[in-house]
Amino acid sequence: MDKAPDAFRTISEVAQELDIPQHVLRFWETRFSQIKPMKRSGGRRYYRPDDVDLLKGIRRLLYGEGYTIRGVQRILKEHGVKSVQGLADSAAAVSFGAIEDAIGASLMEPEDEEAPIKGVADSDDDDYQGDEEEGIDFRFTEVDDEDILTTFRKGGTTAAAPAGPSALDRERLGRVLADLVACREMLDQALKDG
């Protein structure tokens, strides 16, 4: 017997719909505080339609997009529950992975001489005040392998100070920022229309 779309679901119905074992759903409840099923006597769980959509979005991010639990927690914190619930409808959903791929592709575009993006100011790296936990992303840095080997063989550091970002790097970052702003506007509009 099919239930109405706005009916509450038991854990076994949700587990069957998502093709996930019940213990995984209970585990996710401990890792994602946004999942709040109603609990009745005897500890029986009833999931609201919004909970089911959130679980579908989490499932898609974990299994479809390859995110870790910590990565999904970050997405929930930064983008909110509604954006992850929106991933439940896979036909209309914007993939966070696709956005990250587009950003990576934008950074790897061939070098060309374009004018800097309007509204993006040139700034010194000294103004950067990011978290120390962020670390350094070495994927996009150019390193001379021989220089590294020489440094480790000598047991010291190189005397040359690392160069700051070039004008081309700043321009690429400006394009990425503009892409991110456009993506955020599309997401906000989709959630508002939604």
Buried b or exposed e, range 90-114, using 16+ CB within 10 angstroms: eeebeebeebeeebeebeeeeeeee
What is the Cα–Cα distance from 101 to 184, expressed in whole angstroms?
15
Dihedral of CA atoms 160, 121, 138, 110 in degrees, nearest 10, equals -100
What pLDDT, on a 0 to 100 scale, did the predictor assign at position 22? 92
C-alpha atoms less than 13 angstroms from C-alpha of 51 in its C-beta half-sphere: 23
- Residue that is written with structure tokens 């550091």 in the block: 157
Q: What is the pLDDT along the chain (194 residues), one digit of tens a residue?
A: 567 767 889 999 999 999 999 999 999 999 999 999 998 888 888 999 999 999 999 998 898 888 999 999 998 998 888 888 888 765 444 555 565 666 566 666 555 555 455 555 554 444 545 444 455 555 555 555 565 556 555 555 545 555 667 777 778 888 888 888 888 888 888 888 86
pTM of the model: 0.48
**pLDDT for res 64:** 85
Please report the DSSP string for 100-162 in residue order.
Answer: HHHHHHHHTSPP---PPPTT-----GGG----GGG---GGG----HHHHHHHHHHTS--SSPP
Domain boundaries, the chain: 9-93, 94-123+140-194
CATH 1.10.1660.10 for the 9-93 domain, yes or no: yes
pLDDT at 180: 86
CA distance 190 to 194: 6
